[in-house]
Amino acid sequence: MHILHLDSAITADASVSRQLTADIMAKLTAQGTPTVTYRDLNEGVPAIDTTWFQAVRVGTDSPTPEQQDRIATSDALLAEVQAADVIVIGLPVYNFAIPAQLKNWLDQIARAGVTFRYTADGPEGLLTGKRAIIAYTAAGTPMGSDLDYASGYLRHMLGFMGITDVTFVPADGLAFDREAGMARAQAALDQIAA
């Protein structure tokens, strides 16, 4: 088994999502020694731009050094996802949505013809057979509420690329009742099979 472990919180050691992804990883690795790739998205994932679009989406026979850099970055992020059987994602909710660095990661890997394609029957995800486990944390945004623009979006994007086996470990409402929020997360974590 190959696990891709992604963190995106900006709060360093105070991060609940980082704590939960570590707990998820401990559970997944307790019964064996899988290959693990770790990436801290907070260390920087470039936003896509016109240079990225021209290099990656349009393609060119003789890319400039700047375009080659964009291609290499996107290809490296994509290769990590393609190699993974399980993807563990830390999803702290900021301003009711996913962190910018997690959005940048999704933009880098959502590549037509590689992770999805359009068919006569509609879009088809190409990253099938993978499992995602998401540590959802929020101070005041209940998961699944009308205020939650994060969990549904992330589930949709993963599904659009073919990852439909998605499990959430939610620790929400932490600003109001941290103990109850952490208890909800622990209950979800207890249900995860290694």
Binding residues for FMN: 15-17
- Residue positions counted in the chain: 194
Tokens of 110: 């959502």
Burial environment of residue 126 by CB neighbours within 10 A (0 to 12, 13 to 18, 19 or more): middle
Question: Rounded distance, CA 90 to CA 5, Å?
Answer: 8
Question: Annotated binding site, which residues?
Answer: 15-17
Would you say 113 and 70 are in contact if contact means Cβ atoms under 8 Å apart?
A: no
Among candidate residues 151, 162, 28, the one with its CA nearest the CA of residue 90: 151
3-state secondary structure 120-189: CCEEEECCCCCEEEEEEECCCCCCCCCCCCCHHHHHHHHHHCCCCEEEEEEECCCCCCHHHHHHHHHHHH
Query: Could you give the angle at the alpha carbon of 30 between the alpha carbons of 182 and 78, nearest 5°?
Result: 85
The Cα 125–Cα 116 span in angstroms is: 4
